[in-house]
Amino acid sequence: MSEMITLTATHDGFAFTALHAQPEGARKGGVIVIQEIFGLDRYVQEDVARWAARGFEVVAPSMFDRGEKGFTALHDEAGFARGRELAVANGPDNAMGDIQACIDFLKDRGPVFIVGYCYGGTMAWLAAARLEGLAAASSYYGGQVAGMAKFDLKAPVIVHLGAKDPHIPAEEVKAAIWAAHPEVPIHVYEASGHGFNNDGRPDSDLADAELARQRTVAFFAEHATGEGVAH
């Protein structure tokens, strides 16, 4: 079962909401789930439930509360336009402040991981570069990751891309990342397009989605000691 909680970002004192779920069975750590630009919609809620079922305490912050508290939108043209507007207005500093608050909320109970999708995939990569306290990150089809590929990483990252993604050229992103970080595992899923973690969406292949989740869980387990990136 999940519940809505309120956390406070230390960089500006803003109180934002987040979906929170306790782990089922033995606790493996905490996972911060970062949404696409459509808010904490049913796909995020389903993802939170999946992570909790795998033994993780989960926090999914409502990333655009400063602009529109509790924002959710359909995956259509209007929803995309409004979500993008809110994402741009919020900016990276507020996003990082909110994610750091989530890390601080979870860190006393074990290793903290982050997984993000689309907008969230970019934010997960940026968090691994800028924030303290993450054991590992999983970035799914982040549109700005290629442009951030040269950033130094404070935590190890695994990357998932869809070969059929019309928005993000998987091979170009892979090349950009590996030019700067050849140690980063990058997986391209041949049957999937954009947003393939959203079960039931047109670009989602269930086998690909489950394989990506298994790889992420294994990656998190590998880095559960939180020792960061080897140099």
Asked if residue 189 lies in contact with residue 205, where contact means CB atoms within 8 angstroms, the answer is yes
230 occurs within a structural domain? no
The share of the chain scoring above pLDDT 70, in percent, equals 97
CA distances from 9 to 60, 83, 109, 195, 221 (A): 14, 21, 19, 28, 28
Paired sense of beta strands 29-34 and 112-117, if any = parallel
The distance from CA 229 to its chain's CA centroid, rounded to whole angstroms, is 18
Number of domains in the chain: 1
What's the one-letter identity of residue 140? Y
pLDDT digits (tens, 9 = 90+) for 40-59: 999 999 999 999 999 999 99
What's the one-letter identity of residue 89? A
Whether the full predicted model's pTM is greater than 0.85, yes or no, is yes
228 occurs within a structural domain? no
pLDDT digits (tens, 9 = 90+) for 57-88: 999 999 999 999 999 999 999 999 999 999 99
Please report the pLDDT score of residue 204 as a whole number: 86
pLDDT digits (tens, 9 = 90+) for 13-32: 999 999 999 999 999 999 99
Over the chain, what is the mean pLDDT? 95
35 occurs within a structural domain? yes
CATH of the domain at 23: 3.40.50.1820
C-alpha to C-alpha distance for 201 and 204, rounded to whole angstroms: 5
Number of H helices, E strands in the chain: 5, 8
Mean pLDDT of 129-147: 97
Q: Tell me the residue range of the domain where 172 lies.
A: 2-222
